[in-house]
Structure 1
């Protein structure tokens, strides 16, 4: 099926216009939505700041009213004296002048004495009351009580005679919709006050139009980030089936605990409706523009592009018909791209005309060249056949050479294997000799060490023998000294006995003196005292003499034991001296035997050294044989590689010759085909008029 160029161009233009229109529409909608979304974000941010400012304003109002009421003389005197009636009067008079929803006056114990709510109740657990009672000038608390569903309270201390006697609390009721309504009217946004996650006051409505007061939020991100961490959060969320761009602001008590939050949001349905309205306006306009542009483009294309192309087509048909007259040219006065195409085509035909003219002139030369090429291809085929025969002969000779080289390589490998076995045996023998030499050298070293030790033992035994003789002599001297001590101790016993006798006689004298003093009466009292002292001295001497006698008896027993032990020691020293002399003889015998063993070890070491030298000479000769064998084996391997290379080269030459043979045969076929082609080309070229 033939499709006109104008229709194709129309389709292309239409598709481009449609795509451009869709892109413009999409960009416009996206830009519009982004701008609208940014505007909503700005509105929500402004509402958030406005809500915070409004809440701050309410806080300032509560603080001022609490301070004012607490500073009234009636309040301080009534609370200081406990005048409840006067306090109630203060509440009634102040209530009409305040914006606050709640007014409470509590004493220092935390009991509400007067107020708009909670009279008789306790506010002792309220953080604001605790702070001002503790000394703060002002404090606040978000409060939930049985008489307050959710409120913000400010407390100010009441002082009487310089002491804090209670506090005034003022508060706003946030369950009422005053606050959220003010925010919505001021900023056009939805507003909700939360107690924890519970909506206590809101302007939101569910899908049925009912207020969402008393419902709870279930957004985990809000619960975690705002109520959990105390951070302000902006996000897009769905509430009651509607999508909102919203902000959550935490409410905190003075201790930093998050007790609630403030929510403000803008419904995003206005973006959707505005987008739909924009599309309803833009799409029909784009359709009309599309139709107009398509029609206008089709008319322009028909006169500017299609008409010159049709002229070119007619001229080409004339050139291609009849006897292929290359003398014809296309006339075109156009200066645009179509004119350039026509000019290029005329140049191409002119060039083609010159080429065909040259081909006509060379037609005869091609025919003679084809004849010569056929003869040359036959000669080439004969030469290739002879080359293939020579290559086969050389290939057989190389195979025979390869077999001989392989046999030589096998023999050389066997020799190399035998040399390796010999080397291993030599290595084993050398290692054994080395180990034996090391063992003998170690044994010689041990014998030398033993000789040194035996020499030291001999010297030690000689010194020990001398010391034993000296000890025996010393023991004899000790025995003599002990005998002298024993004799002297006997003399001490005699002396002690003399002292005892003297003490007994002194005692008798004291008794006689005492008797005489008694006979003398008063004149002998002084003498009686002296006699008594003499008696006491005699008794003391007697006791000491007895004690000395006992100690001397023990000393005598000890001396007897020492004498006996000294005799035994002398006998033991005699035995030790005899044993030392016997051991010294044994040491001399061991030293003689070790000298003989040292000489034998030296002879063994020299024999092993000679064996090791012989093994080294054999190993050196074996290594020289191994090196020579390696050189032979390397040369044989090179010869094998060269043989394999020659064999591969001959195989490649054989394959190349076969391919050349095939190419020669194909060349003969090509020559025949070429001759036929030259004949046909000549016939076709003759059809052109140049």
Structure 2
């Protein structure tokens, strides 16, 4: 569910309560922080008060020593009573005063110092940094706020009473049993430290948090209840207006919103009622117009359909007449064209007959020459037939020789293979001889001086074996090349034999063709004589046809003239009929468009009527 789909009441309440909660949390956190800060300031002020009290006790003790109320430190030192001397030192008195009430005051008291005489005063952690800051002389106090406690430091400055034990000369024994440091009055060499726990402050803060939370929760609850009733009071009219809008959206235009006030919400209701009233009047008028328009559209559609049907029948009849006239015009044009073609053909026929007579005469002379040529060709064919027979014999002899050459090459190849095998045996023997020579040389080396001569012989044998192996290798290589050449020659011989075989076949074909040519030329000679006789008869027949074609040409000319007149009349009739058909088609299309528009208008009016029927107006609601 999206946020914009949530009820307006819930949105207003949620936004208002969220704002109140945020403000309450901010105020509460600030208040709690102030309470915690005040509690810490109180603890710090208490620490200052304790230190000021300690310093006051120190100063009071120093004044009593100066006034003689208490025996001065020099006298006590001369008496050698160390305990009384320490008890009379002002700083010791101040430390004792602060330590006595530490537990009751809920704090811890320390006097950290670099190189202290009392190991318990050795500085630790933050105390070291605090002493360094205070010894610089720039600070009168130093505060360290930790998670569970606050440390307050105030510098301890040397007074004149302190110099009895810590003054000059440096390194001399002091009355208290220590060694003097050679310090000066006013120097800082330690600090009063008050360590106060924050547990009480945290308890106050926690209590304040609980109280503030309870108070804030109560206030928020009261505000929530008040807001609920306020929002309900404001949004209740809007909810009723939503119901009115919903009813209007379904088509009920009789609904009206109740105007309860004159504020912005009441003005919305007033404007809504005005809008619905105006819309109701418009819908009522549209309903009346839609009813009248529907009746008119139905009448128009019926008339358009009848007109379209009549025009369709006229169109069909006109199209039939047009097609018949077009067919008639086509037939007339075809007949006229045929007559013209006949006239043209007759003219060409007369010319062709004349040309044919001339051609026949020329053909007679040509045929006589052709007969003489055929006789010469027959003689030449007999001579070529004889030469072809001799060539066939020669080709057969060449084919036989090539077959014998092929057999010889195969034998040479077989011999080369045998030689290759023998060379391989020689290589194996040379390899083994080389191995034996090496073994003999090794044995001769083992024999020492006795085997030197044998070693020389073995070395010579090994060299001879290597030379034999190298020669065998070269022979093998040469024989391999020879074998390749033999293989190529064998392949070429086979191909040459195949070529000779094809030559023999082709020579036989040539001889056969020459024999057939001889027979054909003899038959051609006989045929030429027969053609000469037929040409004589054709010349006399051609003269008769030429005379008849002249009479036929005159009759066809008269027919062509008559067909031209008929064709002109047919063309005019065809053009007029096309114009009539085109006009009727245009009228038919217009009638169809009107009919379709009437149907569409009727459907649109029906749809409009159906649409406005969804609305409920005043006269329908009351039954008036």
TM-score, normalised by the number of residues in structure 2: 0.36
Which structure: greater helix fraction?
Answer: 2
Q: Which entry has the higher C-alpha Rg, 1 or 2?
A: 2
TM-score, normalised by the number of residues in structure 1: 0.33
Q: Which has the higher contact order (CA 8 A, sep 6+)?
A: 2
